[in-house]
Amino acid sequence: MKQFPSSELLKRLPKQFFAGLVKKVGEYIAAGHDVINLGQGNPDQPTPPHIVARLQEAAANPLNHKYSPFQGFGYLKQAAADFYLREYGVTIDANKEVAILFGGKAGLVEIPQCLLNPGDTILVPDPGYPDYWSGVALAQAEMVTMPLRAENDFLPDYQELDSAALSKAKLMFLNYPNNPTGATASEEFFAKTIKLANENDICVVHDFAYGAIGFDGVKPVSFLQVDGAKEVGIEIYTLSKTYNMAGWRVGFAVGNESVISAIELLQDHQYVSLFGAVQEAAAVALTGPQDCVNELNDLYERRRNVLITGLLSLGWNVTAPKGSFFAWLKVPDGYSSEEFSTILLEQAHIMVAPGIGFGEFGEGFVRVGLLSSEERLTEAVRRISRLEIFRK
């Protein structure tokens, strides 16, 4: 069969690091091994019943069998605005400051294409969500990384940034609660970010995917809660984590009107909005009962406590995450993140994500998902104990 060469654009895309891991785990499962998969970022709980019920009802409505409005239904944009006012005290203009997204990832990949020209500079956290890199590659932009270090609570130190890079930068990605580190940010940090953005004409894109997941009674801070945030950027919110709607592919961007307009223009050329029934269900999720969100947060906190307490009992010096559904664990001395991940898979049949897959400064750590039951997390601790790597 004739092979047609792919475009230069496709050749620029970063390698999907985790695709190989998933394949390897699949091979172990196919061989009959009981693998505890702690490397995933896929919510394990079902979507709440009242959201599913609205989808089922709305799917039967012939009006939803037609093309939706290009930029989404107004009721969903209003639901997003109502959500931000209720949860964060932030006033959003539903007509000008909300863009409906095909999941948060779509927005994150689209943004560089909306605002950057080839050769422009974007500031990206390291370690960070690998799909940030995809948007950078598609925009043919230049990426400057911002190291996230444990000694700085996994927040970027803006004083480290080269002045030349700052003067060239047009866009910055941030993400708190953070994937992969589980760190959170304060209003003070966001205020520093807004000051930096104003001084250097940088648009800030805050990935708030894990905004609903905060521990020890502390609610994660929205970037838009801080004075001046809408002047310099946007926040991207997904329903995937808050409402266990990962497969539904629905999210939204809120904030700076010019950026929202750019997103909608690009999407006008790519899509004809979301299935209307999904939009109805999303609006119900955002404006309906929120007990399910609180219960889910409590579930993740219980799992976090089981995992961290268990690992500490082995003599593994780990730190509990403050948010997200990930734990970021320092690997034992003498191992790289890939070496340690391989040992856990081969000898204990536990999959974790090696930190190097999230960037250069992810080396020395592994990411563990809180997306398995407390019983499975306890079993994972037992299996690690049997390796006798750690000493009390």
pLDDT of residue 16: 78
Residues 210, 235 contacting (CB under 8 angstroms)? no
Is there a single domain that holds both residue 171 and residue 303?
no
- Work out the end-to-end distance of the chain between its first and last CA atoms, rounded to an integer number of angstroms: 60
Does a structural domain hold residue 1?
no
Q: Are residues 66 and 134 in the same domain?
A: yes
Do residues 149 and 193 both lie within one domain? yes
Instruction: Using the 3D structure, point to which of 238, 268, 287 is the last residue of a domain.
Output: 287
Question: Is the bond preceding 156 in cis, omega lying within 30 degrees of 0?
Answer: no
> Phi and psi of 152, rounded to 5°?
-115, 25
Q: What φ, ψ does residue 79 adopt, rounded to 5°?
A: -60, -40
Dihedral angle sign, alpha carbons of residues 59, 62, 64, 66: positive
Q: Is residue 332 part of a domain?
A: yes
Say what the pLDDT of residue 24 is: 83
Write the CATH number for 186: 3.40.640.10
Residues 388 and 377: beta-carbon distance below 8 Å: no
What is the per-residue pLDDT for 4? 92
In a domain, 73, yes or no: yes
Residues 275 and 304 in one domain: no
Residues 100 and 165 in one domain: yes
Q: Which of 265, 287, 309 is the last residue of a domain?
A: 287
Q: Are residues 218 and 116 in the same domain?
A: yes
- Domain-located, residue 251: yes
- Residue 3 forms part of a structural domain: no
> Is residue 392 one of the residues assigned to a domain?
no
Are 213 and 344 found together in one domain? Answer: no
Tens-digit pLDDT string for the chain (392 aa): 889 999 988 988 888 777 777 888 889 899 889 999 999 889 999 999 999 999 999 999 999 999 999 999 999 999 999 999 999 999 999 999 999 999 999 999 999 999 999 999 999 999 999 999 999 999 999 999 999 999 999 999 999 998 889 989 999 999 999 999 999 999 999 999 999 999 999 999 999 999 999 999 999 999 999 999 999 999 999 999 999 999 999 999 999 999 999 999 999 999 888 999 999 999 999 999 999 999 999 999 999 999 999 999 999 999 999 999 999 999 999 999 999 999 999 999 999 999 999 999 999 999 999 999 999 999 999 999 999 888 75
**Residues 230 and 97 sit within 8 Å (Cβ to Cβ):** yes
For residue 14, give its domain range. Answer: 8-46+292-387
The CATH number assigned to the domain holding 324 equals 3.90.1150.10
Q: Are 66 and 155 contained in the same domain?
A: yes
Whole-angstrom Cα distance, residue 317 to residue 119? 42
* Tokens encoding 35: 């693998």
Q: What is the 3-state secondary structure (H, E, C) of 301-341?
A: HHHHHHHHHHHHHHCCCCCCCCECCEEEEECCCCCCHHHHH
Domains held by the chain: number: 2
Kindly state whether residue 161 falls inside one of the protein's structural domains. yes
- Rounded to 5°, the CA angle 204-186-45 comes to 85
Q: Are residues 109 and 36 in the same domain?
A: no
Residue-level pLDDT at 91:
98
**Boundary (domain end) residue, out of 271, 287, 303:** 287
221-270 pLDDT, tens digit per residue, is 999 999 999 999 999 999 999 999 999 999 999 999 999 999 999 999 99
- Distance, CA of 92 to CA of 60 (rounded, Å): 31
* Same-domain check for residues 233 and 244: yes
Specify which residues 172 forms β-bridges with. Answer: 123, 204
Convert 177-210 to b/e letters by CB count within 10 Å (16 or more is b): bbbbbbbbbeeebbeebbebbeebebbbbbbbbb
Same domain, yes or no, for 157 and 244? yes
Looking at the structure, do residues 343 and 231 belong to the same domain, yes or no? no
Structure tokens, 339: 């070496």
Evaluate whether residue 2 is within a structural domain: no
